Amino acid sequence: MRESDWSSDVCSSDLFPSHDRLWCMGGVVSLLIVNLLGVYIPLLIRQGIDELQENFDLDRVVYYAGITILLGSVMWVIRMISRMLIFGVGRKVEGQLKQQIFDHLLTLDPSYFARNTIGDIINRATSDVDNIRRLVGFAVLSLANTCFAYAFTLPVMFLINAKLSFLAILVYPVMLGIVQLFSNKLRVQQQDVQEELSKLSELIQEDLSGISLIKIYAQEDNERSAFAGLNQNLLTYNLELARTRNFLFPLLEGLASVSLLVLLGFGSTAIAQGTISVGDFIALTLYVERLVFPTALLGFTITAYQRGEVSIDRIEAILRAEPKIKDAQQTLPLLPSEVKGWIKADRLTFTYPEAATPALDQVSFSIAPGQTVAIVGPIGSGKSTLANALVRLIEVEPDQLFLDNVDILKLPLDALRQTIAYVPQDSFLFSTAIRNNIRYGIPDCEQPRVETVAKTAQIHPEIINFPQQYETIVGERGITLSGGQRQRTALARALLMDSPILILDDALSSVDNQTATAILQSLSTATHRKTVIFITHQLSAVTTADRILVMDKGRIVQAGNHEDLIQKPGLYQDLWEQHQLAAVLQSQLTVESGVGK
Ligand code: ADP
Ligand code: MG
């Protein structure tokens, strides 16, 4: 065990605020007092025994017994205080650490969560934090106790009788050697256990999120055996760890009692020879016994320590992750209410990490305030990537994207995101009242405004038909909305922000064409003077846009209004013809099914 650096690792790490360290110190000081008393009491007993052996006196017996009981009680109370202080700090550290991890997670970019699974993160934020609590609580207590016990007890023992003490502790270096030998192994095995635990959490989290898919594809058996495999691995690693511990701990305990045996053997001979007094012998026995417990506990202490260390590493890996998307060192002030709404892209290029081709390739365009611009193009042409770039959910190079002629990288992130209301492709709702979902961006918004935006998003009539109306809980525990209802709720949520720029990323894909077109039209009246960018595959809805950008393979291949674009041969004309064909087929189908009735 790296005893020398536990304090620098644990107590002065950034993970622990200074006042906690103070409480921790308080606990350690109490332990110090406990140990001083623990050294003094046997001395007192020795004195008593030697004195009473010479000259028995009942008053003196009462005196010695009384003072021993008194000091013993004081020691007991202070030991209790030290435990409360140190375990209390453990609990506090646990709480603060969880908060710190959560706060930090909130600062990280979406790309971090694409690289790290939620199950693993949750495991680190719970099970690993728990290990750190044990480290700060139990391990600190026991380690400090062991150090003090050795530091105070050994010198006094040697003063009483150097030879006997030496013989009694002869076995301790062997114990420390064994501990050293095993500490690496324990650490590696502990790491394996934590990692398997993470994999198991990942699987549970992912499978429960995708439970419908598992059922649709009837993959229950496969998932069950995948879980069984991981569970078996965890069991194997846990058993390996337990084997090491079960070998080590009894060995240490056994060796610790050897010292007592040695003392009994040599001590009784020494009394018989008259080299030590009975008082000396009893004091020595008490001291050796004081050492047996912390020494035997060394195994547990090391495990708690190793566990804590592994967990500190795993948590620090989260805390060390730097958000890539953050405010520039010097940002320019931006008042969302004063934004005009110019958007310009200048040879905007973006490649996802590990992707072979860029998702955005030299994209250039300029959008004037108040314009309604549609972006169309095949799946995978880069439309969502462009929207994510505008709100900086992905990190673009400097001097490629501008808002009111200022590089967006120079603007404060929160102000930029307040300026741009963005409805992403997947309309995520929280499992809370539908009202709270709509006013997510302005939690104290009044009902009339909530209803106004719900009306613009054409979701209001459906909400008031729900049993609890705006109080209806959506998501996990409440009513589950249809895709179209979710999308319109998400749209209402964005409209409430009343931002100068609105981006809809295929945000009405599950809403029928007619309603979608009606919503977009009412948007252009409701949001006059707003810049609106809407990405869509519903071509019927784009005909009224001021301008249409046509994307293909990360490039803008055509731009113009609907009338111009349908005249020119190109992607838009093809898409429009497909759309017309689909519309005709649709109407024929409707007619046929009507005739068939
Ligand atoms: P669209 O919205 O037009 O359908 P996207 O912008 O979502 O297209 O995707 C553009 C390209 O980038 C696609 O080839 C897609 O596979 C890729 N892509 C999208 N998101 C990611 C991501 N998070 N990591 C790597 N590649 C991505
Ligand atoms: Mg998309």
Looking at residue 594, what is its pLDDT? 53
For 270, half-sphere exposure in the C-beta direction (CA atoms, 13 angstrom radius) is 22
> 361: CA distance to ligand 1 center in Å?
13
Ligand 1 centroid to residue 549 C-alpha, Å: 18
Residue nearest to atom 25 of ligand 1 (CA): 352
Rounded Cα distance, 416 and 403, in Å: 9
Q: pLDDT tens digits, residue range 511-554? A: 877 787 778 777 766 656 688 898 988 787 788 888 999 999 99
Of the listed ligands, the closest to the CA of 381 is: 1
Cβ neighbours of 474 (radius 10 Å)? 21
- CA 135 to chain CA centroid, Å, is 19
| Residue 505 CA, closest ligand 1 atom number | 2
492-515 pLDDT, tens digit per residue, is 999 898 888 989 998 888 887 778
Residue nearest atom 5 in ligand 1 by C-alpha distance: 382
pLDDT at position 597, please? 41
User: Does 243 have pLDDT greater than 70?
Assistant: yes
Residues within 6 Å of ligand 1 by CB = 114, 352, 355, 359, 377, 379-385
Our mutation pick for probing the ligand 1 site, out of 111, 352, 537, counting the most ligand atoms within 8 A of Cβ, is 352
In this predicted structure, the answer to whether residue 292 has a pLDDT above a threshold of 80 is: no
Checking if the pLDDT of 11 tops 50, the result is no
Atom of ligand 1 nearest to the CA of 506: 2
- Judged by its nearest atom, the ligand closest to the C-alpha of residue 424 is 2
Residue 45: CA count within 13 A, CB half-sphere: 20
pLDDT in tens, 431-486: 888 999 999 988 888 899 899 999 888 899 989 988 888 988 887 655 678 888 88
- C-alpha 551, offset from chain centre: 38
pTM above 0.85, yes or no: no
pLDDT digits (tens, 9 = 90+) for 91-150: 888 888 889 999 999 989 888 888 888 888 988 888 889 888 888 888 888 888 888 888
Q: Which residues face 423 on adjacent strands?
A: 504
DSSP symbol at 126 = I
Contacts 24+ apart (CB under 8 A), 253-258: 253/296, 255/171, 255/174, 255/175, 255/178, 256/171, 256/175, 256/291, 256/292, 256/295, 256/296, 257/292, 258/171
Whole-angstrom Cα distance, residue 271 to residue 388? 86
Mean pLDDT, the chain, whole residue set:
84
Atom of ligand 1 nearest to the CA of 379: 4
Round to whole Å and give the CA distance between 207 and 117: 12
**Residue to substitute in 113, 116, 357, 385 for testing ligand 1 pocket (most ligand atoms within 8 angstroms of CB):** 385
Other C-beta atoms closer than 10 Å to the C-beta of 375 total 28
Residue of 116, 363, 384, 556 to test ligand 1 pocket, by largest number of atoms within 8 Å of CB: 384
Residues counted in the chain: 597
Percent of the chain with pLDDT over 90: 19
